[in-house]
Structure 1
Amino acid sequence: MVSVESMSSAENRADAQLTHVDGYQLASVDKLLIDEYERVDRKSLRAYRLDRLRQQLKKHDYAGMLLADPLNIRYATDTTNLGLWVMHSPSRYVFVATDGPVILFDFTSSKHNSAHVETIDEIRPATPWIYFLAGPRVDEKAEAWATEIADVVRSYGGGNLRLAVDRVDPWGAEKLKSKGIQLFDAQPLTEQARVIKGPEEIHQHALSMRVCDLGIARMKQVLQPGITENQLWSVFHQTNIAHGGEWAESRLLTSGPRTNPWFQDTSNRAIEPGDLVAFDTDMVGPGGALSDISRTFLCPGKPASGDQRDLLGFAADQIAYNVSLLKAGMSFREFAELCWPVPERYVHNRYMMMLHGVGLVDEYPSIAYAVDFDAWGYDGVLEENMVVSVESYIGEKGGKEGVKLEEQVLITSNGAVPFSKSSLLNF
């Protein structure tokens, strides 16, 4: 694993300050990571993403797309505003013309945040019509919103009234359709655009993972009997936020008997000597790049049991074997059928999928186990410059503990290359 001794001198100095978690302290930073992030060529990244979206629009013969999902807005414009709030209160949106301008509709009071982005041609005041902002005037505001969007489509669609949208409430959709606009699902387009990463996106993923690895190393350093799950988890998130990271998609860190079954949120449980401590980072790091890996530690104070070592060994074998299979040109079904065979006693608690795409968050594709393929799987092809995470959970139904591992990799012409330097074998 990434030990303190193997880190850069800056990281060594930073870790030396993390001697306890009981009192308040500022999270130290590795300035080299921050400086390197500032060197990401964001103009190149933005141009690449916009071109990917427009390729999809041309392929499907749409006049443009209207995006309200904050993650799609970010992909299209490299902008964010009010973070998680707009994820549950949709109130800003962007129109991307197939042949025409990119128009961002944003809060008037904060449009200055996006004024520097060269790929945005115009910033207009948004017309939010969620109840919180419109109250009893929802219908009036939705009508004004639909009128403006229909006018934009007519102005830049060249007579094409086919509009891809990703998120719109039904009454807004009806108002658009009443104005002659034909609506189609934008999500397949945005997912397909996002699936192949450009050079700057790959660079950004690598930087985010270095922050993730540093957070994991710090967690391992402070893990001791008596620390709570929430305290330990906070060390990881301190590290992410201190380096310009943003949030975590989940709160999956558990210990001892709470490691089986998986998918339990972190708690105030005090970790005991010899407990397994399993976690899934789900970390949205600097620049919004997801770093999604899982590791399992052993709390000091008691040696690992034979059962614990078996759980870890099986999970590590599954990850290593399945990563070794990955190559550009392989179909999803082929991958599922060739994968490591899960021992029967662990099948019931197997992870929900074998592999999923990674970008701003979890993204297309999601590959089912062979046994689940007919129920919910779908086929496709792995391509060069996809970023994916390979999953494993090993734990018996009703078992005492379980092990969660996950590795994030870049698919290249020569196979899969892991982003993380953190070892899968931590005890």
Structure 2
Amino acid sequence: MFENKNKYLADEVATQPLRNPVSGETHKAARAYRLQRVRQQLKAVDCAAILLYDPVNIRYATDTSNMQVWTLHNYARYALVFADGPVVLFEFHNCEHLHQGNELLDEIRPAINWSYFGAGSRIGEKALAWADDIQAVIRQHAGDKVRLAVDKVDLEGLDLLREAGLTLIEGHSLMEQARRIKSPAELELMRWTIAVCERGIQRMHGALRPGMTENELWAWLHYENVRHGGEWIETRLLASGPRTNPWMQESSDRVMQEGEIVCFDTDLIGPYGYCADISRAWTVGHVSPSTEQRKLYRLAHEQVQHNMALLRPGLSHREFVEQSWDIPPAYWHNRYCCVVHGVGLVDEYPALAHKGADWASSGYDGVFEENMVLCVESYIGEQGGKEGIKLEQQVLITANGCEALSRYPWQTDWL
């Protein structure tokens, strides 16, 4: 797809949609593996089932999707997954037809929405009906007074489930552990999402002109994601010129000027619900960088490459952080929030703090394993500086180290 020296396909070629290489059998294998991972985690902590409300967790366990962003803040659908028993989806009003052909689902029941949006002044009544419904299904398939994991639910609901004799276990960490190790089929789905994301990046690169707004540029990433069956983008992290320092400013109607730095972080949830999390930096108009821009880019690239070279199975989080690239003091204040983080359907466990005081306050140990997928992060921008550089690479931990999953090129002529 990409030519040498950061020159890309002609616009008329880039406008053609990509062909989806993922087979139906690969998709089925990925969903079966994920359900197996959830059940393994349930058995490891002696839980009869898990109640899922987070739409990402529901997607992981059941491979169902319905209004994903809306249900992040409207608790209108949920699922019960049993360690030894059925998968029961409680779906939004009249949406059962969305999941025809999904072999993971044993039963679809109507959800009872007892949030204020759905229930108003009848919250208490609706919550009681919800708790009775949950208890009935658990009693039918696992008996009374069992251990139930829950990823998230409002306080009143937790109290009602406890009053029914259920022992509740924190379930969000259980799901993060399940999602941690990817199967070969999952990696095929993720590679397709990354290809879609890179097509969006390519369109942005080709469209970038002085005089356009940040929002106009950012729209191309959404366009390519949606037309290839992708789902949403978690942030709007694209900034130009003085808005690149400090980082974390989202795209705006600012008009970009020739020669300025433009950086972005895709945070793209693409086809099949997988995440492509990639950051690159260019100059507006693709002109040669200034000496200062080149220096910032070289340091950010060096940080990413140094930390990628450390990653391998069996390395502990602490060992990795201790050996990670030393951020020069001038850039420490504006450092990125983590050194690396996991990624799957979205950003996932682990998220590793920098060495020193950051590790002392927020670090936690663990071990990298084969088939974990990580994003290696860098932000280099001096406090009070004119611009900064954000870079990020998505990688797979293999038996021999790590493999870059993104093929989108760096600005090698800046190094």
Shorter-chain TM-score: what band? over 0.9
Q: Which residue of 1 aligns with 2:68?
A: 83
Q: Which of the numbers 384, 394, 399 marks the counterpart of 2:380?
A: 394
Q: 1:303, CA displacement in angstroms? A: 3.2
Q: Which residue of 2 aligns with 1:24?
A: none
Q: 1:302, CA displacement in angstroms? A: 4.9
Are residues 1:45 and 2:6 paired? Answer: no
Distance (whole Å) between structure 1 residues aligned to residue 5 and residue 366 of structure 2: 43
Distance (whole Å) between structure 2 residues aligned to residue 115 and residue 131 of structure 1: 30
- Mapping 1:344-355, distance limit 5 Å: 344-355=329-340
Q: Which residue of 2 aligns with 1:60?
A: 45
Distance (whole Å) between structure 2 residues aligned to residue 58 and residue 17 of structure 1: 51
> For residue 404 of structure 1, what is the amino acid of its counterpart?
K
The C-alpha deviation readout for 1:256-284, integer Å capped at 9, x for no partner, is: 00000000011001110100000000011
Q: 1:17, CA displacement in angstroms? A: 7.1
Q: Which residue of 1 aligns with 2:159?
A: 174
Question: Is the 8 Å Cα contact of residues 52 and 193 (structure 1) preserved in structure 2?
Answer: yes
Are residues 1:141 and 2:126 paired? Answer: yes
Are residues 1:425 and 2:394 paired? Answer: no
Question: Is the 8 Å Cα contact of residues 27 and 189 (structure 2) preserved in structure 1?
Answer: no
Q: Which residue of 2 aligns with 1:384?
A: 370
- Mapping 1:85-124, distance limit 5 Å: 85-124=70-109
CA RMSD of aligned residues (A): 1.8
Are residues 1:30 and 2:26 paired? Answer: no
The C-alpha deviation readout for 1:330-352, integer Å capped at 9, x for no partner, is: 00000000011111111111101
Cα gap change, 1:355/1:301 in structure 2, threshold over 3 Å: closer, same or farther? closer
Q: Which of the numbers 350, 354, 377 marks the counterpart of 1:369?
A: 354
Question: Is the 8 Å Cα contact of residues 3 and 9 (structure 2) preserved in structure 1?
Answer: no
Question: Is the 8 Å Cα contact of residues 29 and 243 (structure 1) preserved in structure 2?
Answer: no
- Mapping 1:332-347, distance limit 5 Å: 332-347=317-332
Distance (whole Å) between structure 2 residues aligned to residue 102 and residue 272 of structure 1: 54
Q: Which residue of 2 aligns with 1:261?
A: 246
Distance (whole Å) between structure 1 residues aligned to residue 225 and residue 407 of structure 2: 17
Are residues 1:414 and 2:410 paired? Answer: no
Q: Which of the numbers 9, 16, 25 marks the counterpart of 2:12?
A: 16
Cα gap change, 1:318/1:5 in structure 2, threshold over 3 Å: closer, same or farther? closer
Q: 1:118, CA displacement in angstroms? A: 0.6
Q: 1:39, CA displacement in angstroms? A: 4.4
Distance (whole Å) between structure 2 residues aligned to residue 389 and residue 40 of structure 1: 28
Q: Which residue of 1 aligns with 2:390?
A: 404
The C-alpha deviation readout for 1:118-166, integer Å capped at 9, x for no partner, is: 1111111111111111121111110000011112222222445110001
Distance (whole Å) between structure 2 residues aligned to residue 350 and residue 3 of structure 1: 32
SS at structure 2 position matched to 1:163? strand
Distance (whole Å) between structure 1 residues aligned to residue 268 and residue 23 of structure 2: 19
Cα gap change, 1:242/1:260 in structure 2, threshold over 3 Å: closer, same or farther? same
Distance (whole Å) between structure 2 residues aligned to residue 6 and residue 350 of structure 1: 27
- Mapping 1:189-268, distance limit 5 Å: 189-268=174-253
SS at structure 2 position matched to 1:183? strand
> For residue 92 of structure 2, what is the amino acid of its counterpart?
F
> For residue 2 of structure 1, what is the amino acid of its counterpart?
F
Q: 1:301, CA displacement in angstroms? A: 7.0
SS at structure 1 position matched to 2:403? strand
> For residue 189 of structure 1, what is the amino acid of its counterpart?
L
Q: Which moved more, 1:236-245 or 1:306-315?
A: 236-245
Q: Normalising to structure 1: TM-score of the pair?
A: 0.93
Runs (5+) with no aligned partner, structure 1: 19-27
Cα gap change, 1:53/1:150 in structure 2, threshold over 3 Å: closer, same or farther? same
Distance (whole Å) between structure 2 residues aligned to residue 122 and residue 29 of structure 1: 40
Q: Which of the numbers 245, 261, 272 marks the counterpart of 1:287?
A: 272
Question: Is the 8 Å Cα contact of residues 63 and 158 (structure 1) preserved in structure 2?
Answer: no
Q: 1:425, CA displacement in angstroms? A: 1.8
The C-alpha deviation readout for 1:233-263, integer Å capped at 9, x for no partner, is: 0011111111111111100000000000000
Distance (whole Å) between structure 1 residues aligned to residue 298 and residue 371 of structure 2: 29
Question: Is the 8 Å Cα contact of residues 232 and 268 (structure 2) preserved in structure 1?
Answer: yes
Q: Which of the numbers 320, 323, 331 marks the counterpart of 2:305?
A: 320
Question: Is the 8 Å Cα contact of residues 405 and 424 (structure 1) preserved in structure 2?
Answer: no
Cα gap change, 1:134/1:285 in structure 2, threshold over 3 Å: closer, same or farther? same
Question: Is the 8 Å Cα contact of residues 18 and 196 (structure 2) preserved in structure 1?
Answer: no
Distance (whole Å) between structure 1 residues aligned to residue 180 and residue 340 of structure 2: 14
Question: Is the 8 Å Cα contact of residues 40 and 203 (structure 1) preserved in structure 2?
Answer: no
Q: 1:41, CA displacement in angstroms? A: 1.8
Q: 1:167, CA displacement in angstroms? A: 1.1
Q: Which residue of 2 aligns with 1:276?
A: 261
Distance (whole Å) between structure 2 residues aligned to residue 99 and residue 252 of structure 1: 43
Q: 1:12, CA displacement in angstroms? A: 4.5
Distance (whole Å) between structure 2 residues aligned to residue 257 and residue 283 of structure 1: 24
Q: 1:4, CA displacement in angstroms? A: 9.3
The C-alpha deviation readout for 1:159-195, integer Å capped at 9, x for no partner, is: 4511000111001111111111111111111000000
Distance (whole Å) between structure 1 residues aligned to residue 270 and residue 348 of structure 2: 16
Cα gap change, 1:116/1:302 in structure 2, threshold over 3 Å: closer, same or farther? closer
Distance (whole Å) between structure 2 residues aligned to residue 4 and residue 233 of structure 1: 24
> For residue 390 of structure 2, what is the amino acid of its counterpart?
K
SS at structure 2 position matched to 1:79? coil
Cα gap change, 1:37/1:12 in structure 2, threshold over 3 Å: closer, same or farther? farther
